[in-house]
A and B are shown apart, each in its own frame.
Chain A
Amino acid sequence: MSPATPLAVLALAATVGIAALMALTRLANRPGRAAAILTPMLFAVLVLFLWEVLTRGLAVPQVLLPAPSVIARAFWNASPELLQDVRQTVLFAAIPGFVCGSALGMVTGIAVDRSPFLQQGLLPLSSFASVIPIVGVAPIMILWFGFGWQSKAAVVLLITFFPAFVNMVAGLREASPIERDLMASYASTYWQTLWKLRLPAALPFLFTALKVNASLALIGAIVAEFFGAPVYGLGFRISAEIGHLALDRVWAAIAVAAAVGSGSYALLTAAERAATFWHPSQLPGSDRNS
């Protein structure tokens, strides 16, 4: 590899890059589901290839950007540790915090449903909460609950509460006046109407909240570890390996975090599709994908 001159590397990358882009453009212009899936995949492969060739060929220092293959090797070598990190950050901090925060937010949303005053009072406070950097409470939680996963779970709970609450309140408003009149014409009780009409109608909102919360939970758990953690956890791994300038390991930890994040997103999207198959955004013919 070493005798390759930077110029030759650049020329190779440019040639391959341009040729691949031209081929991909033709693929992208094809209709159909196969092309819609294949194009982003091949696009990613192209990016990885160029990343590899350029970092190696131009001898980019590891501190700046390690090559994908180097990251992959680091991942392989560090996998037992990374597994423990995932257990700490995801299983102990992110998931319990996510579940408790989302559930609490939704229950609160139902609890204030019958009081317009409480709604009017809590909604502005919640939208303010969505603006502020809540993750900053991490040091306070560490003082309260210690360095372990408990403090991280508390941070995640706090972060995920507000989106769940706001979306529950908005979702419960989703049923139309006519649909509510219909239930009223059956002399349906408050809880019957909630259960048979308003909660199902709110499901698309709840899934929006869950998807937002899934990524917030992961970010919250990782960033909270930057403030202090026992000797494992994804956030701890990232900040510790940075200290040793072991960028390949940092990248490996980030890749794991990304995989967990997009995995949970995919899982929730699948659940959403199963639960809200009836919603216009899920019906065939609509290609909204976010």
Chain B
Amino acid sequence: MSEAIAGIGVFRTARAGVPQWSRRILAPVVILCALLAIWSIAATLVNPSPAAAAAGIWPSNWWNPRPTLPSPPQIAVATWTGLFGYPVTSPRSLIYHAAVTLEAALAGFGLAAVLGTALATAIVHVRLLDRGLLPWVIVSQSIPVLATAPMVVVAMGYMGFSGLLPKAVISASLAFFPVTIGMCKGLRSPQTVQLDLLRTYNASGRQVFWALRWPSAIPYLLPALKIAMALAITGAIVGELPTGAQAGLGARLLIASYNGLMLLMWATLIVASLTAGLAVGALALLERALPRFRLPA
């Protein structure tokens, strides 16, 4: 076996002229640049702008104030202005709105992580929950939970909660399921032989949990948390749509939508993507910092 694989390795190493790590960075950058170039050309074709042309701005098609397809530089400027053109406390600052959304998302994410882990622990230990509840948790993945967002907002508003909490609840209701399912898999990942080993020590359920199940589940937990984080941010943004909320990226997106502000939409989207990327990236870093081990399946 090893020889066969080594034999294949020959040609792979021989062919790769550029070291792997630099290719890994180079390739996405080149592709991204290519996509931006195509985009720029498309923007040139789609947006004639007599006004900018008259003012002598070149290339004029990139600076149409009401573009159909804004050009990459135009989006970059709009994003930059949104982020840094206003004081952070100003309702025109996208940093302000991102912070509002992120706050709710993080609250929901935390709630989901704790509740999901707790429920998974219960499911692994209580057979009734395993057989009665877990199938529904799995089915719920195919249900558009996000559709309940407006209802959650109204119901919680009726109870006197508004602002952060309803959004956090929506975020949590989305993020909850991947955590639960991931943790169930993780807590069940120890092999029979390892469970048997602990049984020979006459270990208690609690000891088995902390000595075996929990550490085995960590490699499953972090990917689940990354998915949960991405969902939590989507949840918070969608939670801002039906409230008539004044703050948050979702509210900003809705205002841009009502007023047909193409540039604001793009800028808000970029900021939302960056926020999500950073939040999930932070978890990826955490994952990398943790000791890497995985029990063979």
Contact surface of A with B, Cβ cutoff 8 Å: 21, 24-25, 28-29, 35-36, 39-40, 42-44, 61, 63-65, 117-122, 124-125, 128, 130-133, 135-140, 142-144, 177-178, 181, 211, 214-215, 218-219, 222-223, 226-228, 234-235, 238-239, 242, 245, 247, 250-251, 253-254, 257-258, 261-262, 264-265, 289-290
B144:A121 contact, CB within 8 angstroms = no
Identify the closest chain B residue to A216 (Cβ). Answer: B144
Interface residue B230 (Cβ < 8 Å from any Cβ of A): yes
Chain A to chain B contacts (Cβ below 8 Å), 21 pairs? A21-B128, A42-B132, A64-B155, A65-B155, A117-B30, A119-B27, A133-B273, A133-B276, A135-B238, A137-B269, A140-B262, A143-B68, A222-B146, A223-B147, A226-B150, A227-B241, A227-B254, A227-B257, A247-B151, A247-B155, A261-B142
Please judge, given known A-B contacts A132-B272, A242-B151, whether A219 and B144 are in contact too, CB under 8 Å: yes
Which residues of A sit under 8 angstroms from B154, Cβ to Cβ? 63, 242, 245, 247
CB distance from A95 to the nearest CB of B (A): 14
Other contacts beyond A63-B158, A227-B257: 12, CB < 8 A? A39-B131, A42-B132, A43-B136, A121-B29, A128-B277, A132-B272, A136-B249, A142-B257, A222-B144, A226-B241, A238-B151, A261-B142
A117:B23 contact, CB within 8 angstroms = yes
Q: In the bound complex, what is the Cα–Cα distance between A219 and B148 (angstroms)? A: 11
Q: In the bound complex, what is the Cα–Cα distance between A132 and B143 (angstroms)? A: 20
Q: In the bound complex, what is the Cα–Cα distance between A226 and B230 (angstroms)? A: 20
**Hey, what's the 0/1 contact readout for B242-284 against A, CB within 8 Å counting as 1?**
1000000100011011001010011011001100110010000
Which residues of A sit under 8 angstroms from B241, Cβ to Cβ? 223, 226-227
A219:B146 contact, CB within 8 angstroms = yes
A121:B150 contact, CB within 8 angstroms = no
CB distance from B259 to the nearest CB of A (A): 10
CB distance from B282 to the nearest CB of A (A): 12
Identify the closest chain A residue to B233 (Cβ). Answer: A133
Contact surface of B with A, Cβ cutoff 8 Å: 4-5, 8, 23-24, 27-32, 68, 127-128, 130-133, 135-136, 138-139, 141-148, 150-151, 154-155, 158-159, 181, 185, 226, 230, 233-234, 237-238, 241-242, 249, 253-254, 256-257, 260, 262, 265-266, 268-269, 272-273, 276-277, 280
Q: In the bound complex, what is the Cα–Cα distance between A262 and B158 (angstroms)? A: 30
Which residues of A sit under 8 angstroms from B254, Cβ to Cβ? 139, 227
Q: In the bound complex, what is the Cα–Cα distance between A119 and B242 (angstroms)? A: 39
Please judge, given known A-B contacts A43-B132, A120-B23, whether A234 and B147 are in contact too, CB under 8 Å: yes
Q: In the bound complex, what is the Cα–Cα distance between A124 and B5 (angstroms)? A: 27
Which residues of A sit under 8 angstroms from B138, Cβ to Cβ? 289-290
B262:A264 contact, CB within 8 angstroms = no
CB distance from A61 to the nearest CB of B (A): 7
Of the listed residues B128, B155, B254, B256, the one surrounded by the most CB atoms of chain A closer than 10 A to its CB is B128
Q: In the bound complex, what is the Cα–Cα distance between A61 and B155 (angstroms)? A: 10
> Which of B133, B136, B268 is A136 in contact with, Cβ under 8 Å?
B268
Please judge, given known A-B contacts A214-B142, A265-B139, whether A139 and B253 are in contact too, CB under 8 Å: yes
